[in-house]
Amino acid sequence: MRLSISWTVLGALVLSQASSAAKIILGNDDGWASANIRETYRLLKEAGNDVIMVAPVVDNSGQGGRSVFTTSRTLVTNGEFDSVAAGQPSLGSDPSDSHIWYYNGTPAACTFIALDYVAPQIWGPNVTADLLVAGPNVGQNLGPFLYTLSGTMGATYAAVGRGIPAIAFSAAPNGGQRYYKWVNQTTQAGLKDPATISAQLTVDLVQKLIKSTNHGERILPVGYGINVNYPPITSFTNDSCINPPFVQTRMTGGAFTDKAVRNETTGLFTYANFLGEGVNRCINGDCRLPGETDVVNSGCQSAVSVFTVDYDAPLKRDTSKVQTKMLPLVSFHGGSAWKRHTEMPASVKQLESPLRHE
């Protein structure tokens, strides 16, 4: 009896034995030579992960999910911070580290280059990444409007769409876009560089997720991603915000979209923040959670929102209202009457099986 209990306990321990390392693809939109991504690369590796970085050769902020591949075999201009010279190939790796790559394309294109060209070369043809990490971005990406606009998010949801778990990280500017060689061991306040702190926070959350995942399981379910935002890190001047705790949030709530503001003198337009109703209605999320914008703006806290790339409206009264309005012009074929035109991947079929255990 005693023996069988011990074996059960041992079995449970073995089953819950999680791996602490993962195959991670790292990307961003600020570019491959920016401080935040290089510090994150360094610390992800230090934590024992197998990391491949593919990021834009120049700043690609605001590109959202656009997937733009260059039509030029070589760079027309220098890479950011003169990290690569014009005339070099449009895709290349760091001479000192064969796992660090740049590409002259948008963040989403870099995700695809990483998945379909760079990773197969390094990991072999049939090895998939366990996780894609993007960022930390220089500047926060809060709410549904920034979700579509941000290149950091674009790199992330490009991976989620491919079935790769992915997390977007965004930090306050913290002194702005900086070259990775300008990261100092300590700041004037005697603390770590904000780029190092943001990278460490990023690795803390990534390692927590990896350690909470059983061997052979996915880090996140198919179609799911996470959006993380940090408050301003104060380590240049003081220690008032150098370790912001993580808080579970939702994307809607206190979120901004844009409005167009016209300058009467020049006749030109700029944008201003607009607290739009549409980006703040809680339709899909857990409405008990605070909005990520409110959390990050209310003090030294990091916001963590779970998202999916299924943008369909949920099965709720407002959805049927819209569907009903279009009948019979737009017919309704729910349930088994509908035949698919495209074959689903086996993993998705498995999820859809009525025998699923959830």
Among residues 49, 140, 150, 187, which is the contact residue for ligand NAG, using CB under 6 A? 187
**Which of 71/265 has CB closer to ligand NAG?**
265
Name the minimum Å distance from CB 171 to ligand NAG. 14
State yes or no: cis peptide before 136, omega within 30 of 0: yes
Q: Where are the alpha helices (DSSP H) in the chain?
A: 2-15, 35-46, 107-113, 119-123, 143-149, 151-161, 194-211, 292-297, 317-325, 346-352
Minimum separation from the CB atom of position 194 to ligand NAG (A): 8
96: annotated active-site residue = no
Residues 6+ apart with CB under 8 A from 72: 90, 104
Structure tokens at 3: 């023996």
Q: With 0-12 CB in 10 A as exposed, 13-18 as middle and 19+ as buried, what is 181?
A: exposed
Q: Residues 98, 240, 347, 350: which binds ligand NAG (CB under 6 A)?
A: 240
Residue 177 DSSP SS3 = coil
Q: Does 185 bind ligand NAG (CB under 6 A)?
A: no
Quick one: 265 or 331, whose CB is closer to ligand NAG? 265
* 184 near ligand NAG, rule: CB under 6 A: yes
Closer to ligand NAG at the Cβ: 234 or 249? 234
Number of residues that bind ligand NAG (CB under 6 A): 14
Report how far residue 16's alpha carbon sits from residue 121's, in angstroms, rounded to the nearest whole number: 32
Residue 86 vs 189, nearer CB to ligand NAG: 189
Closest distance to ligand NAG from the beta carbon of 157 (Å) = 26
Please state the closest distance from residue 186 (CB atom) to ligand NAG, in A. 9
Residue with smaller CB distance to ligand NAG, 237 or 323? 237
Q: Which of 8, 238, 347, 350 binds ligand NAG (CB under 6 A)?
A: 238
H or E segment and range at residue 84? none
Rounded to whole angstroms, the Cα distance separating 52 from 280 reads: 36
What is the Cα–Cα distance from 34 to 271, expressed in whole angstroms?
Answer: 26
The one segment of 22-30, 56-64, 180-188, 342-350 that binds ligand NAG by CB under 6 A? 180-188
Q: Least distance to ligand NAG from the beta carbon of 321, Å?
A: 42
CA dihedral sign, ordered 357, 218, 338, 284: positive
- 214: Cβ contacts below 8 Å, ≥ 6 apart: 15, 16, 17, 18
**Near ligand NAG by CB under 6 A: residue from 72, 265, 336, 342:** 265
Contact 168, 141 (CB under 8 A): yes
* CA separation for the pair 202, 208 (Å, rounded): 10
Q: Quick one: which of 4, 71, 72, 266 contacts ligand NAG (CB under 6 A)?
A: 266
The contact pattern for ligand NAG, residues 114-133, with x = CB under 6 A and - = no contact, is: -----------xx-------
Q: Which is nearer to ligand NAG, 123 or 224 (CB)?
A: 123
Tell me if 237 contacts ligand NAG by CB under 6 A. Answer: yes
Sequence-separated (6 or more) residues with CB below 8 Å from residue 62: 29, 149, 150, 151
Of these, 263, 331, 336, 342, which contacts ligand NAG (CB under 6 A)? 263
**Part in contact with ligand NAG (CB under 6 A); list of ranges 9-17, 43-51, 144-152, 261-269:** 261-269
Which residue among the candidates 61, 90, 170, 305 is catalytic per the annotation?
170
Positive or negative, the Cα torsion across 243, 56, 129, 98? negative
E strands, the chain, where? 23-27, 50-56, 91-94, 97-103, 131-138, 166-171, 224-229, 246-249, 257-262, 269-274, 302-308
For ligand NAG, the binding residues (CB under 6 A) are 125-126, 175, 182, 184, 187, 193, 234, 237-238, 240, 263, 265-266
Which active-site residues does the annotation give?
Answer: 170
